[in-house]
Amino acid sequence: MSWLPSQLFNVAWSPFRTIVRTVYHSEKTRLVRRYGYKEKIWCGGLLPRKEGKALPIPEYRPKNAWAQRRALFGQNDYIDILGPGNIHPVKTLYNVPAWIRGVSGNEYKILLRKRKMLAKIGMPSFSPTKWKNLQKRIAYLYRFLNRKTKTGMSNI
């Protein structure tokens, strides 16, 4: 009988209209105060110097093009073609958490997988706050994605 309240809810409730997002977090800047024209007092050129010492310039530190990480980049990417054939490149993602290895998806799918995998190792007992936040985030995303957004175009 736990379905009855949710069914009543679905019957009685009608969805809000949500505006499609056009402002993204990565493009936001700090709050602009005193918006307007700012006069450029310094128009470029040599910087003023005190007598004797030159101004501090950061030391040029070129990137080590042959560091381990850069020299061996993409070393095992074609291991399923050029290797014995039983290894998939996904198996070489050693430094990636287990629930992310070889999966592509939006945040909701990744979190569901994370919850499924971390419940087995006992996350609710050794990290209760993070577990609670995970549950809250999944519940919020369920409601947001299913009631306020549309899914993409279907392949049919």
Partner 1 sequence: MTSILINALKRLHITIAPQIRLSSSSVPAVAHNYNLNVEKKDWKFQPQYMKPREVWIENMDTIDEKKMGLIELHPDVFAASPRIDIIHRNMIWQSKYRWVSWAHTKTRAEVRGGGRKPHPQKGQGRARHGSIRSPLYRGGGVIHGPRSGTTHFFMLPFHVRVHGLSSMISIKLAQDDLHVVNNLELPTDESQYLEDLIEKRNWGPSVLFVDE
Footprint on this chain of partner 1 (rule: CB under 8 A): 21, 24-26, 73-74, 77-78, 80-82, 89, 93, 96-97, 100, 102-105, 107, 110, 114, 133, 136-137, 140
If the CB atoms of residues 10 and 144 are measured against partner 1, the closer one turns out to be: 144
How far lies 145's CA from each of 35, 83, 141, 152, in Å? 37, 42, 6, 11
If the CB atoms of residues 10 and 149 are measured against partner 1, the closer one turns out to be: 149
**Please, what is the minimum distance in Å from the beta carbon of residue 125 to partner 1?**
20
The residues, any chain, with a CB within 8 Å of residue 109's CB and separated by 6 or more, are: 103
The answer to whether 111 and 134 have CB atoms below 8 angstroms apart is: yes
If the CB atoms of residues 34 and 38 are measured against partner 1, the closer one turns out to be: 34
If the CB atoms of residues 70 and 126 are measured against partner 1, the closer one turns out to be: 70
**Please, what is the minimum distance in Å from the beta carbon of residue 56 to partner 1?**
31
**What is the enclosing helix (H) or strand (E) of 144?**
helix 128-147
